[in-house]
Amino acid sequence: MSIQFDPNKAIYVQIVDSFYQRICSEELAPGDKLPSIRDTAHLFKVNPNTVSRAYQEMDREEITFSKRGQGTFVTEDLKKIQLLKEAIAQKQLNELVLYMRKLGYTDETIVEALKKTVKELKE
């Protein structure tokens, strides 16, 4: 797992985003154990404190939970995972619509462009 960090966004947030993507795509299933902080730090080539902050953030948002001495695990609450997936998708859609509006697209042309793209990607 490699990541190209965006210098305009905190690294721990990008690590959280990476794990959330893996959880939402079911690459990490409910109840799966996350790699240790040290292993994740080595994988991303970052300071373990940065990974620790990312893990704390995921625990705070209840997408993961930590068991002392055992590690960090993906929540088994499927509703929380579904809500996370919907929130991420909504954020991406909002950014797309706002960007297209900046380019001068009307709402109608945005909808048509989206329909066209969905159809083309199906084929």
User: What span, in angstroms and rounded, lies between the C-alpha atoms of 116 and 93?
Assistant: 15
Closest CA to 37 of 1, 72, 69, 5: 72
Q: Look at residue 2 in the predicted model and tell me its pLDDT.
A: 64
Amino acid 75 reads: T
Domain boundaries, the chain: 11-76, 79-122
Contact, 71 vs 33, CB < 8 A? yes
Burial class (CB in 10 A: 0-12, 13-18, 19+), 19: buried
The whole-model pTM stands at 0.86
Q: Look at residue 1 in the predicted model and tell me its pLDDT.
A: 61
What does pLDDT average to in each consecutive run of 10 residues of the chain (123 residues)?
Answer: 86 97 97 97 96 98 96 98 97 96 97 95 85
CATH architecture, range 11-76: Orthogonal Bundle (1.10)
